[in-house]
Amino acid sequence: MGLNSYRHMLKMKSLVPASTCNPPPTERVGSLPLVHRQGPGSPLLEERPQRRNSTLIFLWDQPRINSIRRSLASSSSSPSSIGNDLDGTNLRIPVIPSEGGREYVVTVGLGTPTRDLPMIFDTGSNLTWTQCLPCPTQGCCPQIDRCFEPSKSSTYSDPSCSPSCNYSASYADNSFSYGYYAQDTLTLSADYTFPNFIFGCGQNNSDGFSNNAGILGLARGDYSLISQTTSTFALIFCYCIPPTYNGQGYLLFGMGALKNCQTNQYTSILPDQTKPSWYFVELLGITIGNQTLEFSELVPSSSSSRTIIDSGTTISRLPPSVYAALRDEFKKEMSEYPVARQHLPSLGLDTCYNLEGYDSVALPKVVLNFDGADVNVDPSGVVWRESDSQVCLAFTPKEKENDQTIIGSTQQRNLNILYNIQENKVEFGTGSCGS
């Protein structure tokens, strides 16, 4: 089968992790570098890049998926974390599990003088929290250089509810962070500092957070970074997730995002009274090659097109009937290549090929057909490379047709994704964070 307008020619070496970090070809003033936590540009690495552990990544993913499913099925009046309000009444900050893929890291500053802290960036979490010293729990901050010490900051202050202003963030894989709310100056760049930024000071954190400073919450709750910086950034941010393990993406806010994140189409953010902080959009179908798979024809449920865009989920989850149709078309398009054994079939990677000896591969193009926007998935988001002998379709099925459809970080690679919350839309464009 030859190359045509419905296929990509993908060089195999572009999927192989390199030992050096490749910055974006175009510098963006005011942007925060966004890197894979195990890649060569990661601030979490002590010496050299680690080999990406696919099994661990997918095992982290599944609890997040399970928690999202349970959360949507539960009563809308049941928040998932509680604390005390800053004026003395109950403060309830919904948190969906940030453990998830835990794949991408940005560095922000807290306090005066500024303490640089590498945090997992997460569009599904409202609360920004970091590990703090001193703490009463042995081992709560095993990597001292990634912990914040309030006593060393001249701008630190307690919220008005102190000392009883506590938070509890429990995650679906039994990881957790418990602590108290705090206020200090948040520094994103020399031009953007935010006094009295409210965040969580972790005092008892599980091992799952031992080598990162915490979570940068980019959901729409009242105490997320986006909501606390509204007067400056007008509820606008954009990111580009790098397509390779050694690439460097970017995270931008406000006018910097509008100027430097080129987009050319958008879809509307759907209102949701039960989960107002999540980014719901409508995914009408998926096109693979020249075949469009429409949800309305494949899935009986009228709500199946309702989809979450989530940076904390690694691999997109599709309705089983849609996934089956996508898989079958992918097999047709890849029929010239030798089939390989399945990789983690229990977690969904069940369509794999042995591409050893191939310099390049003709992959079918995949397009996400949102309401109002047809978004081309980067070739790096179509397949997941475990090794040259095991390259798999990078989508997985949900357990049930009516479970939540999710677009994960793998399918968001090398796209400019701009969230304009004030105008209730998510914009898309071809990113330039590729290596």
Catalytic (active site) residue 374: no
Residues 334, 314, single domain; the answer is: yes
Residues 250, 267, single domain; the answer is: no
Predicted confidence at residue 189, as pLDDT, reads: 92
Predicted confidence at residue 347, as pLDDT, reads: 67
- Residue 74 scores a pLDDT above 80: no
**Residue 1 covered by a domain:** no
- pLDDT tens digit string along 288-313? 999 999 999 998 766 678 999 999 88
Predicted confidence at residue 245, as pLDDT, reads: 82
Of residues 57 and 399, the one with the higher pLDDT is 399
Q: Point out the domain boundary residue: 212, 239, 256.
A: 256
**Residue 283 covered by a domain:** yes
Residues 424, 404, single domain; the answer is: yes
Which percentage of the chain shows pLDDT scores above 70?
A: 76
Provide the mean pLDDT of the chain: 83
- Residue 95 pLDDT grade (very low, low, confident, very high; cuts 50, 70, 90): very low
**Residue 356 covered by a domain:** yes
Of residues 421 and 342, the one with the higher pLDDT is 421
Predicted confidence at residue 374, as pLDDT, reads: 98
- Residue 82 pLDDT grade (very low, low, confident, very high; cuts 50, 70, 90): very low
- Residue 63 pLDDT grade (very low, low, confident, very high; cuts 50, 70, 90): low
CATH number of the domain within which 90 lies: 2.40.70.10
- Mean pLDDT value across residues 55-62: 66
Predicted confidence at residue 302, as pLDDT, reads: 61
- Residue 61 scores a pLDDT above 90: no
Predicted confidence at residue 92, as pLDDT, reads: 39
**Residue 88 covered by a domain:** yes
- Mean pLDDT value across residues 51-75: 64
Q: Point out the domain boundary residue: 256, 288, 304.
A: 256
Residues 334, 309, single domain; the answer is: yes
**Residue 26 covered by a domain:** no
Say which of 61, 173, 310, 403 is annotated catalytic.
310
- Mean pLDDT value across residues 226-254: 95
- pLDDT tens digit string along 134-188? 877 665 666 656 789 999 999 999 887 755 688 877 655 556 778 889 999 999 9
Residues 64, 94, single domain; the answer is: yes
| pTM, full prediction | 0.89
Predicted confidence at residue 59, as pLDDT, reads: 63
Predicted confidence at residue 24, as pLDDT, reads: 64
- Mean pLDDT value across residues 380-402: 92
- Residue 85 pLDDT grade (very low, low, confident, very high; cuts 50, 70, 90): very low
Predicted confidence at residue 70, as pLDDT, reads: 65
Residues 193, 291, single domain; the answer is: no
Residues 267, 251, single domain; the answer is: no
Catalytic (active site) residue 272: no
**Residue 303 covered by a domain:** yes
Which of 18-22, 92-96, 174-178, 414-418 shows the lowest mean pLDDT across its residues?
Answer: 92-96
**Residue 123 covered by a domain:** yes
Which percentage of the chain shows pLDDT scores above 90?
A: 53
**Residue 2 covered by a domain:** no
Residues 286, 378, single domain; the answer is: yes
Residues 287, 218, single domain; the answer is: no
Predicted confidence at residue 177, as pLDDT, reads: 78
Residues 406, 310, single domain; the answer is: yes
Residues 237, 190, single domain; the answer is: yes
Question: HEC profile for the chain?
Answer: CCCCCCEEEEEHHHHCCCCCCECCCCCCCCCEEEEECCCCCCCCCCCCCCCCCHHHHHHHHHHHHHHHHHHHHCCCCCCCCEEECCCCCEEECCECCCCCCCCEEEEEEECCCCEEEEEEEECCECCCEEEECCCCCCCCCCCHHHCECHHHCCCCECCCCCCCCEEEEECCCCCEEEEEEEEEEEEEECCEEEEEEEEEEEEEECHHHCCCCEEEECCCCCCCHHHHCHHHHCCEEEEEECCCCCEEEEEEEHHHHHHHCCCCEEEECCCCCCCCCCCEEEEEEEEECCEEEEHHHHCCCCCCCEEEECCCCCCEEECHHHHHHHHHHHHHHCCCCCEECCCCHHHCCCCEECCCCCCEEEEECEEEEECCEEEECCHHHCEEEEECCEEEECEEECCCCCCCEEECCHHHECEEEEEECCCCEEEEEECCCCC
- pLDDT tens digit string along 257-282? 999 999 999 999 999 888 888 999 99
Residue numbers of the domain that contains 274: 7-16+262-430
**Total domain count, the chain:** 2
Q: Point out the domain boundary residue: 215, 232, 256.
A: 256
Residues 279, 229, single domain; the answer is: no
Of residues 51 and 334, the one with the higher pLDDT is 334
**Overall residue count recorded for the chain in this entry:** 435
- Mean pLDDT value across residues 195-212: 79
Predicted confidence at residue 84, as pLDDT, reads: 37
Of residues 347 and 107, the one with the higher pLDDT is 107
Predicted confidence at residue 98, as pLDDT, reads: 42
Say which of 61, 122, 173, 184 is annotated catalytic.
122
Of residues 400 and 356, the one with the higher pLDDT is 356
